[in-house]
Amino acid sequence: MIETKTITWFPACLVKDMPENGGACVRYGDSQIALFHFTRRNEWYATQNECPHRRQMALSRGMIGTSGDVPKVACPFHKKTFSLATGECLSGDECSLKTYPVKVENGWVYIGIDDEDE
Ligand code: FES
């Protein structure tokens, strides 16, 4: 049996409202999503905003960079780092982040929410 997910794309913000090489917190219902514009790589990422280490709503304010070729974000609290691409913790901890697909169309940034998220 093939399982299919339904993705709902919601308009998160205008491209021009996002900081370069930085993040912003976007609300979706009761959820907070950290949206990142990695301008140097011309890439967009979205993850849960809550850091799984000590449950701080902080990742959108984290510093982004790379580890090798892996785009990452560092939580501002204890500097644990996570892959923006997969959500994997790069600091050796068991915790990981939920990630969301992102697309840009006509000057808008859209975040994809699958039916299991709602
Ligand atoms: S709360 Fe994020 S690293 Fe500790």
Tens-digit pLDDT string for the chain (118 aa): 676 778 999 999 999 999 999 999 999 999 999 999 999 999 999 999 999 999 999 999 999 999 999 999 999 999 999 999 999 999 998 999 999 999 999 999 999 999 776 5
Give the model's pLDDT for residue 4. Answer: 75
Which residue's CA is minimally distant from atom 1 of ligand 1?
Answer: 54
19-112: CATH class: mainly beta
Give the model's pLDDT for residue 116. Answer: 73
In degrees, rounded to 5, the angle at the alpha carbon of residue 39 between the alpha carbons of residues 38 and 45 is 25
pTM for the full predicted model: 0.93
Closest ligand 1 atom to 79 CA: 3
Domain ranges of the chain: 19-112
Q: Which amino acid is at 13?
A: C
Is residue 78 lining ligand 1, measured as CB closer than 6 Å? yes
Whether 101 contacts 111, CB under 8 Å? yes
- The rounded Å distance from CA 2 to ligand 1 centre is 37
Query: Of 48, 55, 75, which is best to mutate to test ligand 1, by the most ligand atoms within 8 angstroms of its C-beta?
Result: 75
